[in-house]
Structure 1
């Protein structure tokens, strides 16, 4: 199996403006410039949360881009799910995590062996001030995160990783607890610094910030 590493955390917001305001109020940081995802009709803002335990980790605030054409398919990360939309309309929420691998096709095949269909492997890209970012990512046709976001989406980056251009934000990721996954899946998501549990919320991310230690907890649907 392709070894996994935590790549980034995903917070969904009703709008990017609401996501930025939430980040400033909750974490004390203004997210950096992100970009638009033409493939999915979404856009984002990002900032580094890299630490010794999670090198190259970053934080993504994502929202549906209402100015973009409809993608003609379900968007990634359950962003078209009505229950999720109702929840993030009240407040942005930690909803998911993405795991980096060196061979996404092999990783998806390994998960299929234990009955997990992570979806097709899609090529995606977005423009940045430093140039075009390109990656391959696992996305189901129904857009489902699976297990309320506890099971990570898989990503394989091209020659450039977005964190290469990110300065320290003052926020670092200390730990990620993943709850509610069957124990049979734990070896499949063995990732440095990530602790699995059979109970509790799907995700609890512990962050060190200028305002002290903050734990973000994902909702259960």
Structure 2
């Protein structure tokens, strides 16, 4: 079963502006750091088992040269709108997942090594995997991440550097609400990709619920998230 790792919010604001101005349940996000190979930087807000990432362009030339699927979507979206855009699911073995998706007939990016330089100068590493999809108005498929550190080790590192505070761990992203043009079509597509059953226009992961809502918005995107006190899916 998949778990939500993080949701991505595209913005034109710097991480410092986000950290100073955004407030969720009385808590501010923190400055994350730089993706030097992509020309982007971020701010982060952690909850018990997932987080929100505010992603923005720091070096437009480098961003355009990166040819990275998420950065291509950022460049496409952020000219016209700021807001939630994509979601990322955790995996413990992206190589295995890549083989599985290809066997199912999907084309993928292959496993992409990634890293971020934190505000404190440390390097955090992970791997990513994307389903090949043309950047446009259609809802982006979720992408996938495998962290260099195990979950508990990573959380302890975040506690030690002050990124994950006790108050953050009382919160969780309960629901992700997507605005789409055809609910049944998107449910079918995502349920097949994630091998999940559907129920009342939703897909249930271990640590959140995906809900699909019909909308006439030009772009199909993640529209809203619900952050609540730590909660367990029944």
TM-score, reference length from structure 1: 0.71
- Mapping 1:9-48, distance limit 5 Å: 9-16=7-14, 19-20=18-19, 23-24=22-23, 28-48=26-46
Q: Which has the bigger relative contact order, CA under 8 A and spacing at least 6?
A: 1
Choose 196-205 or 165-174, whichever is displaced more: 196-205
Deviation at 1:117, TM superposition (A): 2.5
2:5 matched residue in structure 1:
7
Partner of 1:57: 50
- 2-structure distance, mates of 1:59, 1:159: 19
> Secondary structure at the residue paired with 1:79?
helix
Distance 1:172 1:131, change over 3 A: same
Which stretches in structure 1 are left out of the alignment for 5+ residues?
Answer: 51-55, 210-221
The question of 1:85 aligning with 2:89 is answered no
Question: 3-state SS of the aligned residue for 2:128?
Answer: strand
Instruction: Tell me whether 65-74 or 108-117 shows the greater mean CA deviation.
Output: 65-74
Larger radius of gyration: 2
- Distance in 1 between residues matched to 2:59 and 2:11, nearest whole Å: 13
Report the Cα offset of residue 107 of structure 1.
1.5
* Structure 2: tracts of 5 or more residues without a match: 159-163, 197-204, 230-234
Seen in structure 2, the aligned counterparts of structure 1 residues 145 and 175 have a Cα distance that, compared at 3 Å, is: farther
Q: Is this contact kept in 2: 1:123–1:136, CA < 8 A?
A: yes
Q: 1:95 aligns with which of 85, 103, 110?
A: 85
Please, what is the CA RMSD of the aligned residues? Answer: 3.3
Q: 1:112 aligns with which of 94, 102, 106?
A: 102
Given the superposition, is the C-alpha separation of residues 185 and 173 from structure 1 closer, same or farther in structure 2, using an over 3 Å criterion?
A: closer
| Shift in Å, 1:80 | 1.9
Query: TM-score w.r.t. structure 2 length?
Result: 0.68
Shift of 1:177: 3.8
- Whether the 8 Å contact between 2:9 and 2:83 is mirrored in structure 1 is yes
Aligned-pair CA distance for 1:147: 4.2
